[in-house]
């Protein structure tokens, strides 16, 4: 009886050998197929299949070789305990003590050295400020480019008139001159043709039934782009927060913690929709000092 630790792990080594040979041949032929496909500008899908076959052929063959035709043991190897002798520990401690002693004896120098390193670390942080880019966090967190009498324009930059939307319609608008603005993006909707007072104090904000809300979700900042005409609701596609338009885009569902700020609208003398003033709170998701630096809207 031959030693099973070294013996083939199969009763039919010849068959296994032949199978492995077939695997390697498949691999070899796939290389040819791969090169030919590349040469002929074949589709990547075919390239990929050949590429995969090259590796699968080799892989399966080599695994089978290792699994059936190589010594499996069991063999045993002893572990070294992961510890050292008391002597070593002693000498290690001594070597460390030798250095530490001479450092400890010079108290003032030691402390100064630590201080210098601390200062150095801080000095290294300062240049990181350059990463902030041109802007430090500031007014753009609190204000948009809407002001008194700013015309609303479409994505093409065309000013919006009262004829822009049918009842039930919705459209993305921006402050004039800032098309595409990430903070100024606003959704204009028209649930009805008569003024719709969403909250006390907003009696004049909805000429001819036009309402405008910041399009930046108060949850995590996605564009709140879906207007569900039937329910008069705005839906954010990111985490499904739902805002009820008729009550001032108050959050009725999902994680959004605050209503979408409403933009007070008016119609100017040429018949264009304009903002009465900027949003009267910072738009979008919250941040630490959101309440602190807010000093009313620009008029």
Partner 1 sequence: MNLSAPDFGHEVRFGMDTIANMGVFRVRKMDRVNVSTRREDGQEPRFESHERTYEPRVSPSSANSNKAIAAVPRWVDDRLTLAKGGKTFLNKIFPDHWSFMLGEISLYSFIILLATGVYLTFFFVPSGHMVLYHGPYKPLWGQHVSEAYMSTVNLSLDTRFGLLMRQMHHWAADIFIAAAVVHMCRVFFTGAFRRPREINWMIGLTLMLLAIVNGFLGYSIPDDLVSGTGLRIAFSIFESIPIVGNWLGYAVFGGPYPGNGDVIFRFYIAHVLILPLLILGLIGAHMGMMVYQKHTQFPGPGRTNKNVVGAPMFPTFMAKTTGYFFVIVGVIALMGALFQINPIWLYGQYIPYKVSYAVQPDWYMGWLDGALRIMPSWELHLPGHMIPNVFFPAVLFPGLTFNILYAWPFIERKFSKAPDIEHHLLDRPRDNPKRTGLGVGVLTFYFMLFGASSTDVLANMFHVSLNTVLWFFRFAVFIVPVIVGFAAFQLAHEMKEGPQDLGKRKRHNIVVRSAQGGYSTIPVEGRPGDGHGEPEPEVLNPEVLHPEVLHPEVLGEPLHADLPL
CA distance 299 to 279: 10
Nearer to ligand FES, 18 or 239 (CB): 239
Nearer to partner 1, 130 or 194 (CB): 130
Q: Residue 182 in 3-state DSSP? A: coil
Whether omega for the bond prior to residue 251 falls within 30 degrees of 0, making it cis, is no
Tokens 């002929």 sit on residue? 40
- Residue 262 as a binder of ligand FES (CB under 6 A): the answer is no
- CB-neighbour burial class of residue 269 (10 A; exposed 0-12, middle 13-18, buried 19+): exposed
CB 213 within 8 A of CB 186: yes
N-term to C-term CA, the chain: 98
Which residue of 220, 226, 252, 267 would you call a contact of ligand FES, by CB under 6 A?
220
Nearer to ligand FES, 165 or 217 (CB): 217
With contacts defined by CB under 6 A, name the span among 36-44, 84-92, 96-104, 248-256 that binds ligand FES.
Answer: 248-256
- Residue 67 as a binder of partner 1 (CB under 8 A): the answer is yes
Least spacing, CB of residue 231 vs ligand FES, in Å: 17
CA distance 290 to 56: 57
- Residue 252 as a binder of ligand FES (CB under 6 A): the answer is no
- Residue 69 as a binder of ligand FES (CB under 6 A): the answer is no
Positions in 93-132 near partner 1 (CB under 8 A):
128-129, 131-132
With contacts defined by CB under 8 A, name the span among 95-103, 142-150, 176-184, 273-281 that binds partner 1.
Answer: 176-184
CA distance 181 to 137: 17
Query: Strand 152-153 and strand 170-175: pairing?
Result: antiparallel
36 binds, among ligand FES, partner 1, none (CB under 5 to 8 A by kind): none
Which residue of 214, 241, 251, 275 would you call a contact of ligand FES, by CB under 6 A?
241
CB 258 within 8 A of CB 251: yes
Which residue of 16, 211, 236, 245 would you call a contact of ligand FES, by CB under 6 A?
236
Least spacing, CB of residue 72 vs partner 1, in Å: 5
Nearer to partner 1, 108 or 131 (CB): 131
CA 182 to chain centre: 16
CA distance 232 to 238: 19
Residues 6+ apart with CB under 8 A from 188: 152, 160, 164, 165, 170, 171, 172, 173, 210, 211, 212, 273
- Residue 258 as a binder of partner 1 (CB under 8 A): the answer is yes
Which residue of 222, 226, 266, 267 would you call a contact of ligand FES, by CB under 6 A?
222
Q: Which residues bind ligand FES (CB under 6 A)?
A: 217, 219-222, 236, 238-239, 241, 254-256
């Amino acid at each position: 009886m031959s030693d099973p630790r070294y013996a083939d792990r199969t009763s039919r080594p010849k068959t296994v050998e032949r199978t492995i040979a077939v695997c390697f041949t498949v691999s070899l032929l796939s290389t040819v197929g791969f090169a030919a496909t590349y040469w002929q500008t074949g589709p990547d899908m075919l390239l990929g299949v050949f590429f995969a076959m090259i590796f699968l052929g080799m892989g399966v063959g080599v695994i089978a070789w290792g699994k059936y035709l190589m010594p499996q043991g069991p063999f045993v190897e002893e572990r070294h305990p992961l510890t050292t002798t008391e002597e070593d520990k002693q000498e290690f401690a001594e070597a460390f003590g030798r250095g530490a002693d001479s450092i400890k004896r010079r108290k003032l120098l030691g402390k100064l050295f630590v201080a210098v390193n601390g200062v150095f670390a801080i000095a290294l942080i300062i240049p990181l400020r350059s990463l902030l880019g041109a802007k430090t966090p500031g007014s753009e967190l609190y204000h948009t480019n809407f002001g008194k009498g700013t015309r609303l324009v479409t994505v093409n930059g065309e000013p919006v008139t009262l004829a822009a939307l049918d009842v039930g319609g919705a459209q993305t608008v921006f402050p004039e001159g800032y098309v595409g603005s990430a903070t100024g993006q606003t959704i204009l909707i028209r649930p009805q043709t008569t003024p719709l007072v969403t909250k006390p104090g907003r009696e004049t904000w909805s000429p001819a039934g036009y309402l405008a809300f910041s399009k930046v979700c108060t949850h995590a900042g996605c564009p709140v782009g879906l207007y569900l005409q039937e329910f008069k609701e705005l839906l954010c596609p990111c985490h499904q927060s739902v805002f009820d338009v008729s009550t001032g885009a108050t959050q009725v569902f999902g994680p959004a913690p605050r209503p979408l700020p409403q933009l007070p609208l008016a119609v100017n003398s040429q018949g264009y929709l304009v903002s009465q003033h900027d949003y009267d709170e910072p738009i979008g998701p919250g941040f630490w000092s959101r309440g602190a630096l807010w000093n009313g809207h620009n008029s």
